[in-house]
Chain A
Amino acid sequence: MRDEVRIAAARFGLAVPRRALTGTHGERLGRGLGSSVEFEDHRDYQPGDDPRHVDWRAYARTDRLAVRLYREEVAPVVDLIVDRSASMAVRDAKARALRDLIDALGLCAGQGGGRVRFLEAGGGTFDPARETALDRPPTALLPRSPLFPRSLRVVVSDFLTPDDPAPALQRIAAGAAHLFVVQLLDGWELDPLATGPATLVDVESPQTADLVLDRATIAAYRQRLRRLQDDLADATRRIGGTFAVVRAAEPDAMLGGDLLRQEVLVPA
């Protein structure tokens, strides 16, 4: 992990919603019977409850077995779903930005003890420190591994696919505390240059196209890209998630600029 990433990520945390979460012991309040010191209420004893939680003093007074209820202190579980297809490495800058983004989001989500799972789009868990290759064939966004109930979910992809991503995003958002949809594009994808005749080579298929990269062609491309992003933002909004577009850049610009502005991150 690059030092620039570490430094930039230290300033931000994931924008966790106020809804109840699940997770392990941590700084954020969860729901359900817990074991923190923050006493909340009593309820009747049920078989299987921890006898250490029985309020024996209350039993002496009331002759009623009751257990003390506490607010559970939890840290969020974050499922970080990453598109590792070849399109994410169409240029070196984009590949590097994706790796930085994964590392940074992992650090931001882990602020305060949160547990982060790295999941491959259409695959299982992976270790971003070791598995850095971006060469998976284009596949569905939904990971094969089951997602953690009520976890925070973050999907990072370029979403440059002709398929409608809405159904996949709905399935990912099902049971989630919140869903962040992050579209990562590099500078050329956002602002292509008018360099004249060129052969466009699709990195995920054998398709090529000879065309003239002039102002008209680029304007048409931008229009189509904007429509794709609007559709993506609508689909995310419908499921209550947060959509953000990130330009591949240095970690400070991506985190402190794009992700902070689009409310994926908050100052730590």
Chain B
Amino acid sequence: MSFAAPLGLLALLAVPAVIALHLFRRRLPQVRVAGLFLWDPQRLAARAGRKRSRLLQTASLWLEVLAAVLVALWLAGPRFGLADHAPHLVVVLDDSASMGAGREETARDRAVAVVREQLDELSSDALVTVIASGPRPEVMLGPRALRAGAQGVLDAWQPRRTDHDLAPALDLAVELGSGHAEIWLVTDHRVADAPPEVHVVGVGRAAPNVGFLSVRRVDAGSGERILADVGGWGGGARTGTVVVAPLDPQAGAPVVAEVAIEDPSRPARLTVDVPRIVGPYHVELRVQNDGLALDDVAELLPEPTVPVALCVDGLADDAALRLELPRVAKALRGVVLVDDPAQANVRVVPAPVGIGPGRHEIVVAPVGDGTDPWIGPYLIERRHPLADGVTLDGVVWTSGRGPLPGFPILLAGQHVLLSEEAQRSAGGGGLRLHLNLDPLRTNLPSSPDWPILIDNLARRVRDRAPGPSRVNLQVGEFLEWRPRDAVAVGPALTLVDPDGREWPGRGRGTTTWEARQPGLHRLLGPGGEELQQYAVRFASPPESDLTGCETFVEEATAVSDEDDDEARIEAGTVERRLLALLLVLLLAADWWVLREGGRP
């Protein structure tokens, strides 16, 4: 046992003081009474008072002596070895993609070298915690793991995250460091608000770079079209090529297009027409003297389309004509107008018919007796996806005066003009849109809000369909899968990432995984059958910009050192907390003993 502040043991002088107090002041047990006047004042105890008397070995005496000893120990800051005082190194690795910049040697390689150097300087009993930064920092090793485990973690580390704040990782490091660990942040750029106890090491090097800002694959008549925006950061005007090739070489030949980045501040827009294929396309940007490879490639899958087939069913001819649905269907991608109600998944009806999985309807009719024309102001429930982009500027809306079932989305005064009923059942359930509207006395169908409303409904319909919402995503987004039966707990699913690692997922309704790395991901069913492919690509302009990367060292301004006195006191925190707890318990016991002593 050692003491951080041995002078604190002087407080042991309190022990004889306590004994002296007990010698000269004997406390009588107290008795609470209601009528003190009834007791004879002539019979007051002569022995009471501040006279020296035989020392009574009462519980109170021992408790107070023990408390005095504990106070002295607490002040002296003892260390019994209750806490682990082995050196502790906390390393925060900047997990952003720019750490992968460099051709021969990347910033990631230099970061690993820096950390290894630190690990080599540690004693054999040292403990290590390694944290990868991110919106949700990840503890890659530890907390407080043995140093030997760090090697494998560093070898496997591949920085691929999009731009993010380092603060959550630094906060976690400070917390896990418990105030006495050495904390290192290895990054490639300066950090403005790093905690003072953190050593910041920059291993970046400024470099020019070009990369995709966005890449899309769209239908183009009989073929397909790749639309790409290419950005440039540093290095002046350059030219390069974009190679679009089916991932399966048997599916077709590559298509090569030139791209010129004349003004680095403005992205170059590229359009490449390619044959229609079922599988993924691999798109690669090739430019000389390019800093980061991660933003130069993208895999693109054909985006699944859930066609929304509208059908007017039972509406009067003039009302149906007034809704101008052919015009709307023509304007919206993936929305078609069909004549046969059996082929439609959205029916436009004058009264509710029936909804279910894959069967939705729009009920258009004034509700109740009498109608009121409205020109606004309209109250729009902005949080509802159906109201996205809807303004109703200049719209005259003639509604009935009756109540409307479902969740209100548009109101005029107290009158609900538009509401939605969402059925929760197997397969996602159906949607019913109630439009309290007289189609013959409104200009809504000729306003921009009408197609917007139908498009919002189409999105809602697609979002309730089984399968994925999107298959082309960016790193950091979430891959989704909706089972056919949304009510029961779905089967065990497995997502296989490009490195072959498996990520299980299971749940009621939609199952999601975070896209952590670019490349093709495969979703496997319970029997190992492939249910879906997802293409994840990297896109994060702040990470593609390598011009601000630099090499530097910023020492911690508030150094935590095991050797200094303050740190030693901190190291004894566990012991001091224990002593403080014991002290509180002793004082409480003394109070209880004295209080109970006063009771008859």
A188 at the interface (CB under 8 A from B): yes
Would you call A197 and B43 a contact (CB within 8 A)? no
Binds A, one of B32-40, B83-91, B328-336: B32-40
Query: A220-B40, A221-B40 are known contacts. Are A210 and B35 too (CB-CB below 8 A)?
Result: no
User: Which of A134-191 touch B at CB < 8 Å?
Assistant: 158, 160-162, 188-189
B586 to chain A, nearest CB (A): 24
By beta carbon, the residue of chain B nearest A227 is B38
User: Which of B27-59 touch A at CB < 8 Å?
Assistant: 27-41, 43-45, 47-49
Would you call B47 and A197 a contact (CB within 8 A)? yes
Interface centre among B31, B33, B37, B43 (most CB of A within 10 A): B33
B402 at the interface (CB under 8 A from A): no
What CA separation (Å) do A175 and B296 show in the bound complex? Answer: 104
Would you call B38 and A160 a contact (CB within 8 A)? yes
Binds B, one of A9-17, A74-82, A110-118, A199-207: A199-207
Binds B, one of A31-39, A55-63, A211-219: A211-219
Would you call A199 and B598 a contact (CB within 8 A)? yes
A162 neighbours in B (Cβ, 8 Å): 37
B12 to chain A, nearest CB (A): 31
Would you call A225 and B38 a contact (CB within 8 A)? yes
What CA separation (Å) do A210 and B44 show in the bound complex? Answer: 5
B600 at the interface (CB under 8 A from A): yes
By beta carbon, the residue of chain B nearest A220 is B40
Interface centre among A88, A193, A224 (most CB of B within 10 A): A224
User: Which of B414-430 touch A at CB < 8 Å?
Assistant: none
Would you call A210 and B33 a contact (CB within 8 A)? no
Would you call B38 and A203 a contact (CB within 8 A)? no
The answer, among B34, B44, B47, for a CB contact under 8 Å with A209, is B44
Would you call A220 and B600 a contact (CB within 8 A)? no
Would you call B44 and A203 a contact (CB within 8 A)? no
Would you call B47 and A217 a contact (CB within 8 A)? no
A228 at the interface (CB under 8 A from B): yes
Q: How many residues on A have C-beta within 8 angstroms of the other chain's C-beta atoms?
A: 36
Query: A216-B43, A220-B43 are known contacts. Are A199 and B31 too (CB-CB below 8 A)?
Result: yes
A161 neighbours in B (Cβ, 8 Å): 35
A228 neighbours in B (Cβ, 8 Å): 35, 38
Would you call B45 and A197 a contact (CB within 8 A)? yes
Would you call B40 and A217 a contact (CB within 8 A)? yes
Query: A212-B43, A220-B43 are known contacts. Are A189 and B35 too (CB-CB below 8 A)?
Result: yes
The answer, among A200, A205, A207, A225, for a CB contact under 8 Å with B31, is A200
Q: How many residues on B have C-beta within 8 angstroms of the other chain's C-beta atoms?
A: 24
Interface centre among B32, B44, B598 (most CB of A within 10 A): B32
Would you call A192 and B600 a contact (CB within 8 A)? yes
Would you call B48 and A197 a contact (CB within 8 A)? yes
B31 neighbours in A (Cβ, 8 Å): 188, 195, 198-201, 213
A8 at the interface (CB under 8 A from B): no
Would you call B36 and A207 a contact (CB within 8 A)? yes
Query: A200-B31, A201-B31, A216-B43 are known contacts. Are A209 and B36 too (CB-CB below 8 A)?
Result: yes
Query: A195-B600, A225-B38 are known contacts. Are A217 and B43 too (CB-CB below 8 A)?
Result: yes
A88 neighbours in B (Cβ, 8 Å): 34
Would you call B40 and A203 a contact (CB within 8 A)? no
The answer, among A158, A205, A211, A225, for a CB contact under 8 Å with B43, is A211
Would you call B43 and A210 a contact (CB within 8 A)? no
A198 neighbours in B (Cβ, 8 Å): 28-31, 45
User: Which of A209-254 touch B at CB < 8 Å?
Assistant: 209-213, 216-217, 220-221, 224-225, 228
B474 to chain A, nearest CB (A): 63
A192 neighbours in B (Cβ, 8 Å): 600
B8 to chain A, nearest CB (A): 36
By beta carbon, the residue of chain B nearest A224 is B38
Would you call A203 and B33 a contact (CB within 8 A)? yes
The answer, among B28, B32, B43, for a CB contact under 8 Å with A90, is B32
A91 at the interface (CB under 8 A from B): yes
Would you call B32 and A203 a contact (CB within 8 A)? yes
B45 to chain A, nearest CB (A): 5
A22 at the interface (CB under 8 A from B): no
Would you call B34 and A160 a contact (CB within 8 A)? yes
B599 to chain A, nearest CB (A): 8
The answer, among B27, B34, B37, for a CB contact under 8 Å with A189, is B34
What CA separation (Å) do A26 and B384 show in the bound complex? Answer: 64
A selection of 30 A-B contacts at a CB cut-off of 8 Å is A90-B32, A90-B33, A91-B32, A91-B599, A160-B35, A195-B29, A197-B29, A197-B48, A198-B30, A199-B27, A199-B29, A199-B598, A200-B31, A200-B33, A201-B30, A201-B32, A203-B32, A203-B34, A205-B36, A207-B36, A209-B36, A209-B41, A209-B44, A211-B45, A212-B47, A213-B31, A221-B40, A224-B39, A225-B35, A228-B35
**4 more A-B residue pairs beyond the given contacts A197-B48, A199-B28, A217-B43, with a C-beta to C-beta distance below 8 A:** A158-B34, A209-B44, A220-B39, A221-B38
Interface residues of A (CB under 8 A from B): 87-88, 90-91, 158, 160-162, 188-189, 192-193, 195, 197-205, 207-213, 216-217, 220-221, 224-225, 228
Give the top 8 A-B pairs by smallest Cβ distance, nearest first.
A160-B35, A210-B48, A87-B34, A202-B36, A199-B28, A160-B34, A220-B40, A162-B37
